[in-house]
Chain A
Amino acid sequence: MRGDARSRRLVVVPDALLNPPAGAHDDLAPLAAAGWGVVALPPVRDEKWLETIVEQVVTFLDDGYEVALACSEDEAVAVFREALRATGRDVTREL
């Protein structure tokens, strides 16, 4: 038995944060070090892929997990947020 290591906290991030350009600051590492799980948005706009991510985040939210957004000004994150709001949920914490 391993016990329950899950942090019950996750952050939705755009592809640019998961894959920063060469030489750019790594903004993912501190989130990971702080125990946040990462849900990465797809590298291109893809409604079907986005739908599956929204479903997963809804599952976490409905079970009381803390969910945050990173880079909320990023277009992909804004699109995700709108899709999430369409389900009647929202994420207000931004990291």
Chain B
Amino acid sequence: MTTVAYLAHCLLNANAKVDEGAICEGVSMPVLSLLRERGCTIRQMPCPELAFGGTRRFWAVREQYDTPVFRAHCRRLAAPVAEQIRADLAAGARVVVVGIDGSPSMGVELTAASAEWGGRPDKPRDDDYPVTPGPGIFVETLLELLADARPQVRVVGIGQDLFDYDEERELAKLGGELPPTHAG
């Protein structure tokens, strides 16, 4: 059975991250290598924050993005992805969506949320980054669009937006959602 991995955009293009948010120049090689080692087909999802706020945006929490217009933007970006996921499922593939834990838009199990953030952009992006249980807005939207197909889709977040990002731990988590090592 083919496994198709839908990656958060920045896992292949760290240029989409906010300033001080990237952990590599471009491609997250450990993630790419793991997916290839496991024989996955790779697809890249759009970055909702880049397309909305541009490359010069500040880091933000969910509440700052949670507007009707941003949600409509996420739906527009997620719709073709959801359609392709349905096509992959119909073709008999296993589908894994790989998000970014700690992200206000791409988080899976962890997002960033705070009622206090807003106004002057003076919030440091360090150990008081307000990580909170719950999904980011794009991932939430994508899963809603998948509707009845949702239970067939595995979803995992890599904690690259967490201050205590531990690559080995996060790769092990991703690996747990993938098939065993690819023989071919």
Contact assessment for B44 and A6 in the assembled complex, using a CB-CB cutoff below 8 Å:
no
How many cross-chain pairs have Cβ atoms below 8 Å apart between A and B? 117
B76 neighbours in A (Cβ, 8 Å): 48, 52
Which residue from A18, A31, A42, A52 sits with its C-beta under 8 Å from B77? A52
Which chain B residues in 70-85 approach chain A with CB under 8 Å?
A: 76-77, 79-81, 83-84
B124 neighbours in A (Cβ, 8 Å): 1
The answer to whether A7 and B125 touch (CB under 8 A), given A59-B50, A60-B55, is no
Which chain B residues in 60-104 approach chain A with CB under 8 Å?
A: 76-77, 79-81, 83-84, 87
Contact assessment for A6 and B14 in the assembled complex, using a CB-CB cutoff below 8 Å:
yes
Question: Within 8 Å of chain A (Cβ to Cβ): is B149?
Answer: no
Q: In which size bucket is the chain A interface?
A: 35 or more
Q: Which residue of B lies closest to A23 (CB)?
A: B184
Question: Within 8 Å of chain B (Cβ to Cβ): is A86?
Answer: no
Q: Report the minimal beta-carbon distance from B182 to chain A, rounded to whole angstroms.
A: 9
Number of interface residues of B (CB under 8 A): 41
Which residue from B17, B46, B84 sits with its C-beta under 8 Å from A6? B17
A5 neighbours in B (Cβ, 8 Å): 14, 22-25
User: What are 18 A-B pairs at a CB distance below 8 A?
Assistant: A1-B126, A2-B22, A4-B19, A6-B14, A7-B25, A22-B184, A28-B32, A32-B29, A35-B25, A38-B44, A39-B13, A39-B44, A42-B43, A46-B83, A48-B80, A49-B46, A52-B51, A55-B51
Residues of A within 8 A of B (CB): 1-10, 15, 18-19, 22, 28, 31-33, 35-40, 42-44, 46, 48-49, 52-53, 55-56, 59-60, 63, 65
